[in-house]
Structure 1
Amino acid sequence: MLSSIASTITGKESAPKQAQTNLEVDVLVIGAGPTGLGAAKRLNQLNSASWLIVDSNETPGGLASTDVTPEGFLYDVGGHVIFSHYKYFDDCLDEALPRESDWYHHQRVSYVRCKNLWVPYPFQNNISLLPQDEKVACMNGMIDAALECRVANIKPKNFDEWIVRMMGEGIADLFMRPYNFKVWAVPTTKMQCEWLGERVAAPDLKTVTKNIILNKPAPNWGPNATFRFPAEGGTGGIWIAVANTLPKENTIFGEGGFVTAVDAEKKLVTMKNGTTVKYKKLINTMALDSLVNLIGDKELISWTKDLFYSTTHVIGVGIRGERPERIGDKCWLYFPEDDCPFYRATIFSNYSPNNQPQSSVKLPTLQLANGSPATSDEAKDGPYWSLMFEVSESTMKPVDVQNLLKDTIQGAVNTELIKPGDEIVSTYHRAFDHGYPTPTLERNGAINQLLPKLKDMGIWSRGRFGSWKYEVGNQDHSFMLGVEAVDNILNGATELTLNYPDFVNSRANTERRLVDGVQELKL
């Protein structure tokens, strides 16, 4: 998978490098996504141990990287924006991209498409804007849920029960169940609810009732109500810049960083080109199931059978013309209904004017949005704008991959994101096998066995898929998982992000700094 990503980005297979055998370091870091780079950044800062970071991809970034189409449209690996729970994370990004002109700052403008309406996000706080029948069903459900909450003496056993307990059957049926199935590719009955934290807004019945009476939307909610985005290079540009702050002699990217075997007993990693690296401690950021398969331990492999994940398809569509007024300054949009295959669409051109070609670039029309062929193959000027879509796939939710691009474009027409006669000048489709680490009912049992056992072997497995905790899987979380793994290895510090996700995601976590290897909490 990693080698195919490298060839996709660079457009060619990486050239083999001269093997260096018998390398030896105190700490080896596998993977140069946000977690691996966070670990490398901290190791370089503390300068108290020898270290090396390796990745089979020539370009750092992992699941936070960015691709560029031949026509010049940029697409991230899914919907990424920068918001933060950590001052240390902010400082590292500001060091890598220090100029004010390096960033664009945005107020989130997000909607849910429901009943041919755009309902402001979060949906459950804005049912005042629904048609009357749906509004009544949602309110009845919320009242029933509020009454049930007053007498309930047991916690919800799964995500579905949590939804009904907090929001009622009306919102569950209209939005939460169908949307979350489209995202996670598993039913809500098969998911736990410990991962929720700040990710799902629980509606306040009095506030919702007031908004219905006054017929007004609720205010913005959530940690990403404001966010920033890099001016150049997409999200991947951030991580390239962070990697550039590290000493080159401590990095091996490309063919030389392709891990083919991990001998946990001998503490030896073997690369595809024959290089071997002896380590004292290993920070792993590849997916847990991939890691244990490389180790070959049958007990570890058996535990990974309870880890479920979905594949993410990212589809991009570049369009000629001025950004339509109906699109305006929207950021990302949610789609619970079955008139489109995607669960989320991002107006990626709104994040930065450099996410698409300049108006002076001449491009031919590939097709019209309704599937009709272009009337001419002549290359013409812009301006251009772009949409990025995400579609999930799993064994419980198969996808017609062969027709997914066509179905996505038709879904965009169905939901009025684009018009049938719009000129499409560029398309993009890439599947990421490990897209979402699903918080299923079985997940905690698996990772509570796997992570301590690996640590006993001298392996700190961390990151979006390295520790398999979606609740701490954003870019800031992932980066700090790497930072805190280093502090734990070198100084015995507590890994707060891994072990206390509710705290790091809470308002109590107002500022966190790392000073000379000591975690300093300011509450």
Structure 2
Amino acid sequence: MSHSRKASRVSVSKSSAQTKDISVDVLVIGAGPTGLGAAKRLNQITSFSDNWPQNGPSWLILDSNETPGGLASTDVTPEGFLYDVGGHVIFSHYKYFDDCINEALPKDDDWYTHQRISYVRYKGLWVPYPFQNNIAMLPKEDQIICMDGLIDAAMEHRVATTKPVDFDEHILRTMGEGIANAFMRPYNFKVWAVPTKKMQCAWLGERVAAPNVKATAKNIILNRTAGNWGPNATFRFPARDGTGGIWIAVANTLPKEKTRFGGDNNVEKVDAKAHKVILRDGTTINYKKLVNTMAVDALVEAMGDKSLINMASGLYFSSTHVIGVGLRGERPERIGDKCWLYFPEDNCPFYRATIFSNYSPYNQPQSDVKLATQSLGDGSKPSSTDKKSGPYWSIMLEVSESSMKPVDQETLMAECIQGLVNTEMIKPTDEIVSTYHRRFDHGYPTPALEREGVLTQLLPALKEQDIWSRGRFGSWRYEVGNQDHSFMLGVEAVDNIVNGAVELTLNYPDFVNGRRNEERRLVDGAQAFAAKN
């Protein structure tokens, strides 16, 4: 097997003064983690099966944004505060993913490693996350209500002969009515912007902790918290440039001649029958295989296929507003080393707050930068607008939106700042020096009751037309929507195209999210799966 790098075989021919025809074997649409995973794998492969020339398929990756990263990118405010476009941290189920990002950011000082410190705000208290494992920290009357529900749920579970029909029933069966009403129902509505009765529960996996009744009772008696839980209990974060810096660095490991980024590369039409993609500037790209990472509902609209458009109409999503608030002053003691925090109650519009300045000292301006105070925490004007030095710290908030949960964009910033005061995250006298607001139409792919019925038809129908639609919204599976999952969806799509390898992440999410670390982090996961079965 040859491992030497071969020359690019992308062919380009001018069809007019303004447009070009490009022909490649594999076209990748989108330069978020999934698209970059596909491109990275294409760039690494140098020997193939009989389906391809010996030096592998020609390929191209394109994105309408100038900067790669997609929904894992990072914005910078005029004042110098960094905000990821959502709550992102690095934890991994795959050695391949680790190797690729470590190649892109190889130095020790490229990263910070954190132990997750997360809480739920409840009745003026900070309850350690996950809430359902830490009811020992609740007021006594709430402990009783939650414990009664847990016992009822455990007894019901012993005799249940059917699976839960929806997420709400799953919550009741595993946690009971008390925890459902105190946290799970209100919090999940704030996140998903749909009631839990309209969501299925096949997506849960490692994302929702199931409480242990005996351990919970023991913790209540001993008045102690549960231990840290979940795959992100320890996580990494890049020292500079936010999460988006990771994907810029990964993109920089690819050959420049095989990347097309910028507004003219917006996809206007996908002609699946002719295997052509038409770009905004008139360029036609001929392909044999297409790896699509834009939202699958947008893809089928670009294809103009009425049957697929009708099929995709059964997929639901919520929009996300990301709010940033930059403040002057030392990090308050009440904030400490907190990472991200959950808010189920209605005294604030946001469901999650991230203390973004705690992730890296470079996520905000340095102390010697002088900034004017824009307003105080209570919304009043400052006594002086003279520019003053720091230090600075920052909070990033997330707010969901849907037809069932509308948002007034004009008042949202003020409502969020008031929510920070209501939850004692900031004080009325705190100096706000910077604000940030960005809305993402496709924020969360909702695991609605109808989802599986749609995906089991839509994704194979696209694949029959040589389109592998993958990624957070490309394949619409939230349970494999983290950065590592998304990257590997692209990698595994390419391996499936090239040699027919099993796409583990797409088809077997419970396996890749499994508890046995030695299985899920093998270099060759497909071999591990075959051996296991």
TM-score by length of 2: 0.93
| Of 240, 245, 248, the match for 2:253 | 245
SS of the equivalent of 1:399 reads: coil
Query: 2:301 aligned with 1:293, yes or no?
Result: yes
Question: Which position in structure 2 is the counterpart of 1:27?
Answer: 26
Structure 2 unaligned residues grouped into runs of 5+: 1-16, 47-55
Give the aligned partner of residue 3 of structure 1: none
Q: What residue number does 2:353 align with?
A: 345
State how 1:28-427 maps to structure 2 within 5 Å.
28-47=27-46, 48-427=56-435
Report if aligned partners of 1:66, 1:77 keep a CA contact under 8 Å in 2: yes
Specify the code of the residue in structure 1 equivalent to 2:41.
R
CA contact (8 A) 1:493 1:519 kept: no
- Letter matched to residue 27 of structure 1: V
Per-residue deviation at 1:518? Answer: 7.2
CA-to-partner distance for each residue in 1:397-456, whole Å, 9 max, x for gaps?
A: 101111000000000000000000000000000000000000000011111111000000
8 Å CA contact retained: 2:94, 2:523: no
Change (3 A) 1:341 1:407: same
Q: Match of 1:355, SS?
A: coil
CA distance in 2, matches of 1:492, 1:518: 11
Structure 2 CA distance, aligned partners of 1:460 and 1:519? 22
Task: Give 1:369 deviation, angstroms.
Answer: 0.6
Q: CA RMSD in A?
A: 1.3
Equivalent residue number for residue 464 of structure 2: 456
1:215-241 deviation line (CA, Å, top 9, x unaligned)? 000000000000000000000000000
TM-score (norm 1): 0.95
Provide the rounded CA distance (Å) in 1 between the counterparts of 2:256 and 2:528.
Answer: 30
In structure 1, distance between residues paired with 2:42 and 2:528: 18
Shift of 1:22: 1.1
Matched length: 505
Moved over 2 A (4+): 508-515, 517-523
Correspondent of 1:500 among 508, 527, 530: 508
Contact 1:34 1:62 in 2 (8 A): yes
Cα distance per residue 1:228-256 (max 9 Å; x no partner):
00000000000000000000000000023
- Checking the alignment, whether the CA contact within 8 Å between 2:504 and 2:526 is kept in structure 1 is no
Cα distance in 2 between the residues matched to 1:162 and 1:42 = 38
**Offset at 1:21?**
1.1
- Note the residue ranges of structure 1 that are not aligned, 5 or more in a row: 1-17
Q: Distance in 1 between matches of 2:361 and 2:528?
A: 39
Residue 200 of structure 2 aligns to a residue whose secondary structure is coil
Q: What letter is aligned with 1:133?
A: E
2:4 maps to none
- Report if aligned partners of 1:512, 1:519 keep a CA contact under 8 Å in 2: no
Cα distance in 2 between the residues matched to 1:210 and 1:279:
61
Q: Distance in 2 between matches of 1:345 and 1:396?
A: 22
Checking the alignment, whether the CA contact within 8 Å between 1:19 and 1:256 is kept in structure 2 is no
1:512·1:520 contact (CA, 8 Å) conserved in 2?
Answer: no
Superposition deviation, residue 509 in structure 1:
5.0
* CA deviation profile, 1:341-373 (whole Å, cap 9, x unmatched): 000000000000000000000000000010100
State the AA in 2 paired with 1:59. T
2:502–2:526 CA contact under 8 A, matched in 1 = no
Q: Helix, strand or coil: the match of 1:147? A: helix
Asked if 1 retains the 8 angstrom alpha-carbon contact of 2:364 and 2:394, the reply is yes
Q: Distance in 2 between matches of 1:122 and 1:74?
A: 27
Cα distance in structure 2, aligned partners of 1:249 and 1:514: 29
SS in 2 for 1:261: strand
Q: Tell me the CA shift for residue 519 of structure 1.
A: 5.3
Counterpart of 1:11 in structure 2 is none
- Following superposition, the deviation at residue 512 of structure 1 comes to 3.7
